[in-house]
């Protein structure tokens, strides 16, 4: 018997969620924001290490 499984849209949404959930797109912009506010690189590093 040859049956085809039709994947609905929820399957693709779940797959995309699994791929994108751990990506952090905001961090480079946050570092640029902190540099623009006058923080030095070592100060930003200390903030990240505390976090």
* pTM score of the predicted model: 0.54
Per-residue pLDDT of the chain (51 residues; tens, 9 = 90+): 555 556 678 888 888 888 888 787 888 899 999 999 999 999 999 999 998
Q: Give the whole-angstrom CA distance, residue 45 versus residue 43.
A: 5
Q: Which two tokens stand for residue 34?
A: 């902190």
List the domain boundaries for the chain. Answer: 27-51
Q: Give the whole-angstrom CA distance, residue 49 versus residue 43.
A: 10
pLDDT recorded at residue 44: 94
pLDDT recorded at residue 23: 81
């Amino acid at each position: 018997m040859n049956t085809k499984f039709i994947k609905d849209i929820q399957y693709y949404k779940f797959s995309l969620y699994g791929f994108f959930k751990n990506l952090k797109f905001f961090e480079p912009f946050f570092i640029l924001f902190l540099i623009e506010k006058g923080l030095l690189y070592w100060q930003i590093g200390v903030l990240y290490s505390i976090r």
